[in-house]
Amino acid sequence: MLFDTHAHYDDSRFDGDRDELLRSLPGEGVGLVLNPGCDLASSRKAVAYADTYPHVYAAAGIHPENIEGVPDEQVEEELREIEALAAHPKVRAVGEIGLDYYWCKEPAERKRQQELFRAQMRMAGRLGLPVIVHDRDAHLDCLTIAEQYPKVHGVFHCYAGSAETAQRLLELGYYLSFTGVLTFKNAKKAAEVVRRVPLERLMVETDAPYMAPEPFRGKRNSSLYVYRMVEAIAEIKGLPAEEVARATTENGKKLFGIPE
């Protein structure tokens, strides 16, 4: 049984077949899905899916890209509503949160992202929930903030940092999860991290509808393809795919507190 620990079913690309697709997953071997939120509206949708489908769990949070142009007061109000939403029993993490410097070059805007990230780390601490961290071109600042909240841990999703940073994150109690990037031919850096990180700290995810793995690259991604990340890890580590499937599912259940 596979656990897709990160998929965005609120995306409009699923409007035509969302219900059918989500219902089909357990029969296709994907027994668990975690749908993170990226703002208040998508966090609410994630909770609605978790209410509808027994195998779907939710996370609630504000993605760093989604505060650009949004006034501080509105962000604060959304954070209060997200914290209230997180009381739902199937909300199992604060996420996705973090830093995205790829599109954000302005120092003042980067500072706002850092403040939002810190506010949500404190929220996770209050709620006793793990975090789902998005880190794009912001490895050092993400690590620095993770170190400032040593009681909070979680997962760095779509991990793209170095093996050295990975080691430090493992010491802080974090898990690392990998998307279809791992199946791309030029993914040498990610493969090196997977080789060095113990299996009990790895998770798999699709980040659907984005990041479709080979041989589906460029298509709409879905949890039906999460087996490709299991196969990629198995190949890199020289382990049977069944063992990687079992371990990554157990890791996700442990981190997100999902019962047997």
Shortest gap between Cβ of 222 and Ni ion (angstroms)?
14
What is the three-state SS of the chain? CEEECCECCCCHHHCCCHHHHHHHCHHHCEEEEEECCCCHHHHHHHHHHHHHCCCEEEEECCCHHHHCCCCHHHHHHHHHHHHHHCCCCCEEEEEEEEEECCCCCCHHHHHHHHHHHHHHHHHHHHHCCCEEEEEECCHHHHHHHHHHCCCCCEEECCCCCCHHHHHHHHHCCCEEEECHHHHCCCCHHHHHHHHHCCHHHEEECCCECCCCCCCCCCCCCCHHHCHHHHHHHHHHHCCCHHHHHHHHHHHHHHHHCCCC
Shortest gap between Cβ of 219 and Ni ion (angstroms)?
17
Residue 193 neighbours by CB distance under 10 Å:
24
List binders of Ni ion among 136-155 (CB under 5 A): none
List binders of Ni ion among 162-221 (CB under 5 A): 207
**Residue number with CB closer to Ni ion (79 or 97):** 97
**Residue number with CB closer to Ni ion (78 or 135):** 135
Shortest gap between Cβ of 239 and Ni ion (angstroms)?
26
Omega before residue 240 within 30° of 0, cis: no
Distance from C-alpha of 7 to C-alpha of 5, rounded to nearest angstrom = 7
**Residue number with CB closer to Ni ion (59 or 169):** 59
Shortest gap between Cβ of 77 and Ni ion (angstroms)?
23
Residue nearest Ni ion by beta-carbon distance: 207
**Residue number with CB closer to Ni ion (4 or 78):** 4
**Residue number with CB closer to Ni ion (206 or 237):** 206
Q: Which residue has the tokens 């442990």?
A: 254
**Residue number with CB closer to Ni ion (113 or 237):** 113
- Report phi then psi at 170, rounded to 5: -60, -40
**Residue number with CB closer to Ni ion (136 or 246):** 136
Contacts with Ni ion, 94-123, as mask; x by CB under 5 A: ------------------------------
Shortest gap between Cβ of 258 and Ni ion (angstroms)?
19
The answer to whether 131 and 153 have CB atoms below 8 angstroms apart is yes
- If binding means CB under 5 A, how many residues of this protein chain bind Ni ion? 1
Shortest gap between Cβ of 206 and Ni ion (angstroms)?
9
Shortest gap between Cβ of 161 and Ni ion (angstroms)?
16
Contacts with Ni ion by CB under 5 A lie at 207
